[in-house]
Amino acid sequence: MDLLYRSTRNNNEIVKASQAILKGLADDGGLFVPVSVPKLDKSMEELMNMNYQETAYEVMKLFLTDFTEEELKDCINKAYDTKFDTEVIAPLVEADGAYYLELFHGSTIAFKDMALSILPHLLITSAKKNQIKNEIVILTATSGDTGKAALAGFADVKGTKIIVFYPKNGVSPIQEKQMVTQKGDNTFVVGITGNFDDAQTGVKKLFNDKELAQLMDSKGYQFSSANSINIGRLVPQVVYYVFAYAQLLKEGKLAKGEAMNVVVPTGNFGNILAAYFAKNMGVPIAKLICASNENKVLYDFFETGVYDRNREFVLTSSPSMDILISSNLERLIYLTAGCDAEKNAAFMESLSKTGKYEITEDMKANMKDFYGNYASEQETAATIKDLYEKTGYVIDTHTAVAASVYKKYKEAAKDDTKTVIASTASPFKFTRSVMNAIDAKYDSMSDFELVDELSKIGNVKVPNAIEEIRTAPVLHDTVCEKEEMKDVVMKFLGI
Ligand SMILES: *Cc1c(COP(=O)(O)O)cnc(C)c1O
């Protein structure tokens, strides 16, 4: 019997895993959730002797039941290979009484690689299974990070092309360099003379352009999206929580059955939702600690039961968490409302109309395993500095938000449960903020001087992802007006 997925807004839209991956979003705008979260069918003692790839298979086979063993293993082996700079894939580092789960050893040195390195393979396998002959064209608008991670994931994957639009003057110089140096015949990077919203609006228009869709179909192409709400991104993220628990058990840091807490620096709520799924699969996880930066919508939500996006948007040093609508939270709302799609749809309508909604007391009670808090910019910087001075270990700004919130939680709850902190980016990705937090004297150095200095003081090799862009040639120099996006896409596809 296949595990089926249904929309959070309509219990009658039911699809198989491969169809959910192909569609991304349900027709009614809802997100796909499995009708029940499967239980692990291997014990932790069995899992602790498996490597990352084997663990990935044991977890993902339970969610993606319409994939054959061969198909799934093939996807896993193509994703978690030498693109990662450590064989462990997701190592744990103990520092100052917590375990940092380093999710940044992939091609773009941030945690999005954990899912975006496998999504392309899941997508083309899903296309094959559903007799889709067209080549898949991934279309993305990016404000920086997701674009590069998607490019790296899809580069040279047969049967796919990827087109990324970014605001020409709206990303950091390093982010731009990372994208325009992207290799792969099937990749295409375009700067638009506009801001991120213009790029995003333009991409949405292209997705909804029926005429273009027909023309593309006649030439053997169709669009798809690598959006973070795709179940093909969520499922691979469950793996590293299972892996982390098994590793701690193996190392004797946890006793059999002993629970751990996890702390996740949160934006779109995808990563922490994966931890919640891991818990529901049977991993002994006690608290799920949701860490926010100064955009603390989620902290307020867990405190009051009111989700309210009507507030000032704050630009912080942890930009990947600067989010006012956490799209993946919809899955938790649906699940804690007892899988009541109508109730969830009403909340989401209220969110889109008024920017807010309030959940019921029952739903709040169903979320008791979550704890939310936030860290100010100053607390985040102080945490980077303290940890470095105490231990020599350097963490990035996003991870520091989590470490800071963990400190608050530990003091407030007097809870000594062993704790895993999801470390979502390499400090080399946010070198300037990290180095400034450690010492103001670094302010005058150039970006690449800072990289070398960080390598020295942190005693870590400069990651390839950074080393490469020092010298890599620019391979993409297309710039267009926002009105020209369609022409640019057609030209690239040769239609
Ligand atoms: C995307 C991202 C996050 C937030 O993860 P969500 O799944 O969106 O909550 C945190 N840190 C970094 C570095 C990220 O790139």
DSSP for 142-202, written as a single string? -SSHHHHHHHHHHTT-TTEEEEEEEETTSS-HHHHHHHHT---TTEEEEEESS-HHHHHHH
DSSP β-bridge partners for residue 264? 290
The burial class, CB within 10 Å (0-12 / 13-18 / 19+), for 191 is buried
> Does residue 391 belong to any structural domain of this protein?
yes
> Does residue 50 belong to any structural domain of this protein?
no
CB 5 within 8 A of CB 20: yes
Structure tokens at 198: 């213009």
Residue 331's nearest CA partner among 2, 120, 18, 20 is: 20
HSE on the CB side for 160, CA within 13 Å?
28
Q: What is the CATH number of the domain that holds 353?
A: 3.40.50.1100
Q: Which of 266, 321, 405, 431 to mutate to test the pocket of ligand 1 (most atoms within 8 A of CB)?
A: 321
Q: Which of 271, 423, 431 to mutate to test the pocket of ligand 1 (most atoms within 8 A of CB)?
A: 271
Query: From the CB of 425, is ligand 1 less than 6 Å away?
Result: yes
54: left (phi over 0), alpha (psi -120 to 50) or beta: alpha
Query: pLDDT digit string (tens) for 450-493?
Result: 999 999 999 999 999 999 888 899 999 999 999 999 999 999 99
Q: Which residues form the domain of 356?
A: 92-109+232-463
What's the pLDDT at 201? 84
For 246, phi then psi, to 5°, come to: -60, -40
382 Cα distance to chain centroid: 25
> Does residue 334 belong to any structural domain of this protein?
yes
> Does residue 444 belong to any structural domain of this protein?
yes
User: Within the chain, which residues score under 50 in pLDDT?
Assistant: none
Q: Rounded to the nearest whole angstrom, what is the distance from the C-alpha of residue 268 to the centroid of ligand 1?
A: 7
CB 64 within 8 A of CB 122: yes
Query: From the CB of 321, is ligand 1 less than 6 Å away?
Result: yes
Q: Rounded to an integer, what distance in angstroms lies between the CA atom of residue 371 and that of residue 272? A: 11
Selected catalytic residue, list 42, 61, 83, 112? 112
> Does residue 168 belong to any structural domain of this protein?
no
Q: Rounded to the nearest whole angstrom, what is the distance from the C-alpha of residue 145 to the centroid of ligand 1?
A: 10
> Does residue 398 belong to any structural domain of this protein?
yes
> Would you call 112 a catalytic residue per the annotation?
yes
Q: Is the dihedral of CA 89, 92, 95, 96 positive or negative?
A: positive
The model's pTM: 0.95
Q: Rounded to the nearest whole angstrom, what is the distance from the C-alpha of residue 335 to the centroid of ligand 1?
A: 22
> Does residue 384 belong to any structural domain of this protein?
yes
Q: Which of 268, 296, 331, 434 to mutate to test the pocket of ligand 1 (most atoms within 8 A of CB)?
A: 268
Q: Rounded to the nearest whole angstrom, what is the distance from the C-alpha of residue 458 to the centroid of ligand 1?
A: 23
What's the pLDDT at 120? 95
> Does residue 30 belong to any structural domain of this protein?
no
What's the pLDDT at 1? 86
Q: How many domains does the chain have?
A: 1
